[in-house]
Amino acid sequence: MGEEVDLKDNERPQHTPNDRIGGGKYLSCRRREILSLRATPGGLFANSQADGFVLEGLKAGRESRMLGGECLDSDKSKRTMLLLYCSSLVSSSSILNSLIAHSSHLKHIHQTHAFMLLRAFDTDNLHLSRFINACSSLGFYSYAYSLFTSITHAPDIYLYNNIIKALSSSPTHPKASIFLYNNIQPASLRPDSYSFPFVLKAVTRFSSIQTGRQLHSQSIRFGLHSNLHVLTAFVQMYASFGSGCISDARKLFDGMSISSGDVALWNAMLNGYAKLGDLCNARDLFERMPQRNVISWTALITGYAQANRPHDAIALFRRMQLENVEPDEIAMLVALTACARLGALELGEWVRHYIDRLGLLTKNIPLNNALIDMYAKSGDIKRALQFDRIQEVLSKINRQLRLSQHFEKESDALLDLG
């Protein structure tokens, strides 16, 4: 039996009443959806390969049909026969992949899950993993977790890794990923080079250095401590715990950095120093890096800005331009903030033109706020007011979008109660 990472009883994941129905075998995917996949042709197969088959599929489902000895009514039969017809032209696996790719809210998740049950894809670890990823990407972490805990077959390490990855990103379930990691060895499986980076993300989120050290010991026991991806994850974890653990991160980094020029490993250590405010060590690493990417530049520029050193931030940003490295949105935001502090209108104008070229002026609210601040503090009130009007339009669109999403979630919740 493998060593278990400590997790207090009150930290173990709890199911909510809405996570399961029908004795816990299936989730809130209702029987009528399992039988008929309630959806309009524009809903279930929207933007999928099956779009062109809808009319023919409906013709094939005239009146009622027999399926598995159960007589379905006309509407249900149409939907079921549509699925059968489509699957004769396009493989069920292709249809499922399309459904997963185009899922955008809970109703789609229910319909896709129903399709999986009809085709027995709920016993396939690969398809389950993709579906769990879709659930988590839409924020339905409880649904993903309950789906995993309701399966009746043995999950493989790939499926375990995917549910751990999903829950480590959850705002309410990160500790559940530790709980599931502890189940890997009792299931006669071994953690691999993906298991540790995923579970360490959760450890970092709820700041448990003791759990992190236990996982580090286990990685040594499994011979994975020298794996580059695992090592980088541990450097990130130790660095995230601040000055008390930065030396542990550096020790791991020094043990591998000589033989590895991997930019992700160097960025992890650089970012740790920058966030801590140790800009001497951060700059030293930056200058010695075998190769840099935009993340390397952004980490150091952000470090200077947070340490109230706008001159250094702007100087590094200018050097970034000279070396033909295209800044990302974070670097542009930090540069605009530094320009606002110093009244550096010329550089701010260059950033504004770059933002405009990327088409972000009418899309990115934080960048627009930074431009308003920069123009106002540089004395160009006319330009500040111009971007303020753009900001008003963006804010109105954003409010309408949030309101639409709110009503959509309420509608999905009412459907669940039906």
Burial label, 125 (beta-carbon count in 10 A; 0-12, 13-18, 19+):
middle
Which residues face 21 on adjacent strands? 26
Measure the CA–CA gap between 23 and 138, rounded to whole angstroms.
26
What is the extent of the structural domain holding 64? 26-119
Q: Tokens for 41, please give them.
A: 């042709």
- Residue 320: per-residue pLDDT: 92
Amino acid present at 142: S
Question: What is the model's pLDDT at position 191?
Answer: 95
Per-residue pLDDT, 77: 56
Give the separation between CA 148 and CA 273, rounded to whole angstroms: 38
- Report the candidate in 389, 380, 306 with the shortest Cα–Cα distance to residue 349: 380
Q: Which residues of the chain have pLDDT under 70?
A: 1-90, 257-259, 361-363, 380-418
Q: Determine the Cα–Cα distance for residues 155 and 282; give it in Å rounded to an integer.
A: 43
Domain boundary residue, one of 119, 145, 171:
119
In this structure, what CATH number is given to the domain that contains residue 324?
Answer: 1.25.40
Neighbour count for residue 17 (Cβ, 10 Å): 6
pTM above 0.75, yes or no: no
Domain endpoint, select from 85, 101, 119: 119
In a domain, 238, yes or no: no
**Cβ pair 282, 274 in contact under 8 A:** yes
User: How does pLDDT run across 118-142, given as a tens digit for each residue?
Assistant: 888 889 999 999 999 999 999 999 9
pLDDT value, residue 293? 94
Neighbours of 392 (CB within 10 A): 10
DSSP class per residue in 377-405: HTT-HHHHHHHHHHHHHHHHHHHHHHHHH
φ/ψ region of 139 (left if φ > 0, alpha if ψ in -120 to 50, else beta) reads: left
User: Of 119, 150, 176, which residue sits at a domain end?
Assistant: 119
Tell me how many domains the chain contains: 2
The answer to whether residues 246 and 234 touch, using CB atoms and an 8 Å cutoff, is: no
Q: Cα(298)–Cα(3) distance, rounded to whole angstroms?
A: 39
**342: which 2 tokens?**
């110093």
pLDDT at 395: 56
> Could you give the CA distance from residue 11 to residue 274 in angstroms, rounded to a whole number?
32
